[in-house]
Amino acid sequence: MASTAWNPGATVLDVIAIGAPWLAAAVLTVWRRQPRLVGFMASLLSVAASAHLLLAAPEGESLYEALMLLYSCLTAGATLVLPKRDCDSRTISGILFLLGATLLAYSSGNLAVFLTGWVLSTIPFFPESWFRARAWRPATSLVLSSLALAAAIGIIYSSGHAISVDALKGRSPGGMAAFGLLVAAVILRKGIWPAHAWVADAAETGPSIPTALLLNGHLGALLVAKLILPLFPRTAGNVFPVLSWLAMATAIYVAIRTLTENSPRRLLAGIALSQSACILAGLESRTSEGITGALVHWFVVTISTTGLFGILRLLEVRFGENLTASDFLGLAGHAPRLAVFFAVFGLALVGLPGTLSFCSQDLLIHGTLMSHPVTGVVLPIATAMNAVSILRLFARLFLGRRRTGFTHMADALPRERWTLAVGVLFVVLGGLFPNLIVAQRSAEADRVVSAQAGPSVWAELSEHPPERIDHRPAASGESTRH
């Protein structure tokens, strides 16, 4: 769907990746047996199709395919980690619907399709029977962000007379009005200050794992990478720092806010939000280092925060839903493996050496400090505060006097243990051999930096795409997705 030259192979794979979860979701509404198995198999199909798409993607242009693979894997993992109590056909069908919608947004090269993916990904969070939070702010933010995006796309279409992203690149269609609406959509969807509060509300009053999946779609950051930077290179260069400053303000505001938070869900949501705001700041840095760091950090934040929310949910199921960080709960004695997984995911989120986030933070901080020497200092400070918050949460949940009175309490079950181990392995192996991931993202960062350099550079790139992007044999018959 994203290709300029239509490629039937890629389209079929796109349809499988997106259609399989939707089909499975539809099946689960009528046939409610074995939801975990159905969900896992459908996610696995998405994983396989996304992996094929990634392999077929041109070198340096595989970001969206990589994100599709990441999100499919994440959903497959979520279906395994989901506690038995939550694992009914409704939840699984909602998760699969969310997967399909998010992959649609990732794979789209068309404004209308992107909007469809964006709106559909919010649908499961409105009905009571699916994932509606018991607070008004999440639903309001999601609706407003969709309206802002729809209005922006409407203006872009009426001004640019095209709906394809490729056809609109570098033309700043719709001017400041469209740009402003797109930025508003990002702020509302991503939870950027001052529209940040809905994220913690959603995490606290909604279902934990589906909310984590919603947040980790990072469609706000995707909107920046997919539409704002390519379509508005000149405007983005001049006005975009405002969004960057807001992102940095969010990172530090939420980091300070979580220092005194005692609700584990709100605390985790705050840390996740603060760290994902760093992604936006990095994307705006206009340096290859910053953008590469942001893209790599995207992967880290997605995996770590989903892992953390998953573990928290497993603890809630075992020890009651009234967990609090105001007291030492001493749960490590009962669940030592969950404690270790929590510690690794938590520290991986805030730059523990030996994990992928050490590299991503290094690049991110370097890039941001290059573009914003004064305000960029905010990012390491926010990360330091987040590290303290995550350690505090770990200490309060897992350390302290061992609780007595439990007749029997299971530590991580094999399916949970090995799923979480795969996530840990990714962040650790990624940290030990980061160049495999960094080199790919670096090539994509170059394209973004080139795009931000101005329309002339972009036009020059567009005139000679084969030399720059297509390194594969001509006879391979693979996709030339942009």
Degrees to nearest 5, angle at CA 72 with 69 and 77: 120
Of 32 and 392, the one with the shorter C-beta distance to another protein is 392
Nearer to another protein, 200 or 311 (CB): 200
* 3-state secondary structure (DSSP) of residue 164: strand
Smallest separation (angstroms) from another protein to the CB of 314: 8
| Three-state secondary-structure class, residue 145 | helix
Per the DSSP assignment, residues forming a β-bridge with 110 are 164
Matching residue, tokens 């589906």: 210
Verify binding: residue 426, another protein, rule CB under 8 A: no
CB 197, min distance to another protein, A: 5
Two tokens at 415? Answer: 């399916």
Distance CA 128, CA 209 (A): 16
Residue 44 is a binding residue for another protein (CB under 8 A): no
Under rule CB under 8 A, which residues in 427-446 are in contact with another protein?
Answer: 434-435, 438-439, 442, 445
Size of the site for another protein (CB under 8 A): 77
Q: How far is the CB of 178 from another protein (least distance, A)?
A: 29
Among 123, 144, 147, 388, binds another protein (CB under 8 A): 388
**Based on CB atoms, which residue is closest to another protein, 37 or 409?**
409
User: Within 139-198, which residues bind another protein (CB under 8 A)?
Assistant: 196-197
Question: Smallest Cα–Cα separation from 309: which of 32, 64, 23, 77?
Answer: 77
Residues 343-382 vs another protein: string with x where CB under 8 A? Answer: ----x---xxxx---xx--xx-xx--xx------x--xx-
CA R_g for the chain: 21
- Would you say 23 or 87 has its CB closer to another protein? 87
Cα separation, 170 vs 212, whole angstroms: 34
62 SS3 class: coil
- Which listed residue (9, 26, 136, 471) binds another protein by CB under 8 A? 136
Nearer to another protein, 370 or 457 (CB): 370
Q: CA–CA separation, 66 vs 60, rounded Å?
A: 11
Binding positions for another protein, 235-254, rule CB under 8 A: 253
Alpha helices in 324-377 (DSSP H): 336-349, 356-371
Closest CB 187 distance from another protein, rounded Å: 16
85 binds another protein (CB under 8 A): yes
326-345 residues in contact with another protein (CB under 8 A) are 328, 330, 332, 337
257 binds another protein (CB under 8 A): yes
Does 451 bind another protein (CB under 8 A)? Our answer is no
State the angle between helix axes of 111-120 and 89-107 in degrees (0 to 180), rounded to the nearest 10.
160
Q: Answer whether 90's CB lies under 8 Å from 38's CB.
A: no
Identity (one letter) of the amino acid at 317? Answer: V
Q: In the complex, what is the shortest distance from the CB of residue 212 to another protein, in angstroms, rounded to a whole number?
A: 18
Residue choice 8, 30, 84, 238 for contact with another protein (CB under 8 A) = 84
Contact between 32 and another protein by CB under 8 A: the answer reads no
Return the residue of 6, 12, 176, 321 that touches another protein, per CB under 8 A. 321
**Residue 344 to residues 4, 75, 305, 313, 453: CA-CA distances in angstroms?**
42, 20, 11, 17, 39
Residues 27-35: contacts with CB within 8 Å, 24+ apart?
A: 28/89, 28/90, 28/92, 28/93, 28/96, 29/89, 29/93, 32/88, 32/89, 33/89, 35/87, 35/88, 35/89, 35/91, 35/92, 35/93
Cα separation values, 300 from 68, 294, 392, Å: 15, 10, 21
The length of the chain is: 482
Question: Among 11, 86, 144, 164, which residue sits at the site for another protein (rule: CB under 8 A)?
Answer: 86
Residue closer to another protein, measured from CB, 8 or 414: 414
Work out whether 135 is an interface residue with another protein (CB under 8 A).
Answer: yes
Determine, following the binding rule CB under 8 A, whether residue 134 of this chain makes contact with another protein: yes
Sites for another protein among residues 281-320 (CB under 8 A): 288-289, 292, 317-320
Q: At closest approach, how far in Å is the CB of 366 from another protein?
A: 6
Contact string 405-424 vs another protein (x = CB under 8 A): xxxxxx--x---x---x---
For another protein, the closer CB: 24 or 332: 332
